[in-house]
Amino acid sequence: MRKTGGVISILAAYGILALSGVFAGPSAAMLFNPARSTKISFGLLFLGLLGGAAGAALIALGVKLCRREDEAALPVSPWSVIGFGLFYPGAAQAYAGRWLWAAFFLLLPWAIINVCLVAAVAVGVIARFLPFFSSVTPLLTGIMGICMPSKLFYFILWAASLAEGYRWAIQIEPNPPPAPMPRWRAPVIGLGAVIYSFIFLLLMQAVFVGYTLRVGVFLKGGKLESAKASGKPAEQADSSSRDDKPRTTEEYRKAAEQGDAAAQFKMGQIYLRGEGVLQDMSLAAGWYLKAAQQGHPEAQFNAGLLCAKGQGGIPKDDAKAAEWYLKSATQGLAVAQYELGRALLRGAGVPPDKSAAAGWIRKAAEQGNARAEFDLGQMYSRGDGVPGDLGQAGSWWLKAAEQGHSGAQFNIGLLYAKGQGGMPKDDARAVAFYRKAAEQGFANAEYSLGIMYDKGRGVAQDYAEAFKWYAKAAGKGDSDAQTSLGIMYQKGLGVQKNDAQAVEFFRKAAEQEDAGGQVNLGLCYADGRGVRKSLVTAAKFYREAAEQGDMAGMHNLGAAYIYGRGVKKDVVEGYKWIYLAAQKGEPNSRQALIDLAPYIQPRQVSEAKRRAAAFQKEAP
């Protein structure tokens, strides 16, 4: 009967703990939202804490009722059973029945609470980065509401159990314990257990509070600001300059509900970033649309972004996005002009029109938008929507480069390296611009800077420095850098010679259909360097490079056919590939044609040239 009552008490405790979450969950959300009533929040939180206390007390009562009466030698308090078991492991064996009852009913809820809290925090973190999960936040706060009061009272009872268990471990000798513990070990283990429990609680509560408060601090006016806003797209517009007077979220909300467009836009920003409120993309979208409909340019642009990306509960609609971009762009917002230009360039939601695209991108570039300056330079370099003019391209790239645009910095470096676009040939300046872009992690610039150090152009030759920059670019998947890195390993330049590593990087480049990687990998197979020798595999990689128009691949494939290395001997097919390589300017191929002349008949030469012409016609 006692055990039945104990089990009922424990089940009732779980029910009360769950009920406490109903109060404490919403109250936690409201407490950290300055726009809500703090009186109601504190009232609900108090009810939640009372529920937590009642639940913990009922669990303690239930375990006490479940204890075995014939074990009077053990501590009286059911909580102290756990503490006693920690100090005398042997007691857990001697009195297994009572100890296991206590462990099951006391530690299992503790474990469940911690698992729920960790899961809730994990989902909360995901919700910060993936707005799609923001719909789970009501459930999230409910789970946290259950965990918060429960952990508080569990910790109090846990500490009490350790203290009483320590007292019993020092004063009571079990009858006798199967494995007596020296007295000096009890305080050591006790202190360790207390420190462990305390640190664990602090860490868990720190994670909980850190998430719930958004790492925020209370500022003047009761406004909860986020120390680090997240979830804002890079292109998102911000019109803070339109409303310089600092206001609380509640004041912004009241103004927004009264139709103030600037306040409506600000409410959109608040919900987008989660500033003092739970992040909610749908609510952000709603406020942006209200402001956009009143002609607010930044809100119109953001509404366009949401339509283009299909976020905030708004269906993906490129045509609607372009419509919002146009409304914002006609009011002079540079970022909207740029996005409208890109939409016209791609034909996203509007008929493609390169000339109109260039016009809008130019408007944005003239306002100093770095991305627009770069793209306008690209359009001039290709003659898209504007006459091809490398000088104009360089002029716009230079403007973007001065604002730190890595792509523009790289392009200016190329112009200096080649002496094009009105730039004098100047390797030192090329290196300077490559370095600026490379230091921002731009892979093409890292590779090009590696070349400059490798060849000693604009800087003193330094193979170790070249290897460093090649490695950075290769790590980002740049196939040219992977091939160059393979050559460095093969020759032992700037790094210890290693044929196996060379093969690995040649293979990575070849897998990206890089002709240089394919040729070098073929040579490794032909010579058996860093890999088992295979003329058939070598010819296979030569062919892959040759069919891409690589003259080294053509020459090597031709030689393979001439001598029958890895392929069936075919002088005509060999002459064809060597002839194609010679036409591309391969000096070894020109000499090879001269050397082949005495050994090949005129009709074979004619057939080889016919095949070469057919290949050139079919080549992309």
**DSSP states of 394-410 as a string?**
HHHHHHHHHTT-HHHHH
Q: 115: phi > 0 → left, psi -120 to 50 → alpha, else beta; which? A: alpha
Is the pLDDT at 1 greater than 70, yes or no? no
Alpha helices in 492-586 (DSSP H): 499-511, 515-527, 535-546, 551-563, 571-583
Q: Are 24 and 44 in contact (CB under 8 A)?
A: yes
H/E run at residue 224: strand 224-225
Residue-wise pLDDT tens digits, 269-285: 999 988 888 888 999 99
Q: For 286-347, give the DSSP string.
A: HHHHHHHHTT-HHHHHHHHHHHHHT-TTPPP-HHHHHHHHHHHHTTT-HHHHHHHHHHHHHT
In degrees rounded to 5, what are phi and psi of residue 367?
A: -95, 5
Neighbours of 432 (CB within 10 A): 16
Neighbours of 263 (CB within 10 A): 22
- What pLDDT score does 11 carry? 54
Is the pLDDT at 268 greater than 60, yes or no? yes
Name the band, by pLDDT with cuts 50, 70 and 90, for residue 438. Answer: very high
* Distance (Å) of CA 579 to CA 551, 564, 571: 10, 17, 12
Average pLDDT, integer, range 221-242: 38
This model's pTM is above 0.75: no
* Distance (Å) of CA 275 to CA 188, 222, 257: 46, 12, 18
Task: Please state which of the ranges 222-226, 326-330, 400-404, 545-549 shows the lowest mean pLDDT.
Answer: 222-226
Is the pLDDT at 74 greater than 50, yes or no? no
Rounded Cα gap, residues 615 and 620, in angstroms: 10
111 residue type, one letter: A
In degrees rounded to 5, what are phi and psi of residue 442?
A: -80, 115
Is the pLDDT at 330 greater than 50, yes or no? yes
**362: Cβ–Cβ under 8 A, 6 or more apart, which residues?**
372, 376
Task: Please state which of the ranges 244-248, 523-527, 582-586 shows the lowest mean pLDDT.
Answer: 244-248
Residue-wise pLDDT tens digits, 9-65: 555 655 555 455 444 444 444 444 433 444 555 555 555 556 555 655 655 555 555
Percentage of the chain surpassing pLDDT 90?
A: 56
Name the β-bridge partners of 225.
Answer: 217
CA 293 to chain centre: 34
Name the band, by pLDDT with cuts 50, 70 and 90, for residue 220. Answer: very low
Rounded Cα gap, residues 57 and 12, in angstroms: 11
- What pLDDT score does 277 carry? 86
To which residue do tokens 């120390």 refer?
Answer: 227
Q: Which segment, 95-99, 171-175, 235-239, 532-536, is predicted with the most confidence on average?
A: 532-536
Q: 333: phi > 0 → left, psi -120 to 50 → alpha, else beta; which? A: beta
**541: Cβ–Cβ under 8 A, 6 or more apart, which residues?**
510, 518, 519, 521, 522, 525, 553
DSSP 425: P
Percentage of the chain surpassing pLDDT 70?
A: 60
- What pLDDT score does 187 carry? 52
Rounded Cα gap, residues 145 and 124, in angstroms: 14
Q: 218: phi > 0 → left, psi -120 to 50 → alpha, else beta; which? A: beta
Is the pLDDT at 542 greater than 70, yes or no? yes
Rounded Cα gap, residues 536 and 534, in angstroms: 5
Name the β-bridge partners of 218.
Answer: 224
Q: Are 563 and 542 in contact (CB under 8 A)?
A: no
384 residue type, one letter: D
Q: Are 236 and 302 in contact (CB under 8 A)?
A: yes
Average pLDDT, integer, range 359-366: 96
Of the candidates 566, 571, 567, 580, the residue with the CA atom closest to the CA atom of residue 609: 580
Name the band, by pLDDT with cuts 50, 70 and 90, for residue 619. Answer: confident
Dihedral over alpha carbons 608, 610, 612, 613 (to 10 degrees): 170
- What pLDDT score does 161 carry? 55
Is the pLDDT at 496 greater than 50, yes or no? yes
- What pLDDT score does 120 carry? 58
CA 592 to chain centre: 53
Task: Please state which of the ranges 174-188, 253-267, 587-601 shows the lowest mean pLDDT.
Answer: 174-188
* Distance (Å) of CA 377 to CA 93, 370, 396, 400, 411: 80, 11, 5, 9, 10
- What pLDDT score does 582 carry? 94
Average pLDDT, integer, range 197-217: 46
To which residue do tokens 């230009």 refer?
Answer: 341
- Name the burial class of residue 356, with classes exposed (0-12), middle (13-18) and buried (19+) by CB atoms within 10 angstroms of its CB: middle
Q: What is the mean pLDDT of the chain?
A: 76
Residue-wise pLDDT tens digits, 105-162: 455 555 565 566 556 555 555 554 444 444 445 555 555 555 555 555 555 555 555 5
- What pLDDT score does 160 carry? 55
Name the β-bridge partners of 217.
Answer: 225
Rounded Cα gap, residues 358 and 71, in angstroms: 89
Of 441 and 25, more confident: 441
Residue-wise pLDDT tens digits, 394-421: 999 999 999 999 999 999 999 999 999 9
Neighbours of 422 (CB within 10 A): 14
Of 40 and 443, more confident: 443
- Name the burial class of residue 247, with classes exposed (0-12), middle (13-18) and buried (19+) by CB atoms within 10 angstroms of its CB: middle
Of the candidates 400, 399, 454, the residue with the CA atom closest to the CA atom of residue 431: 454
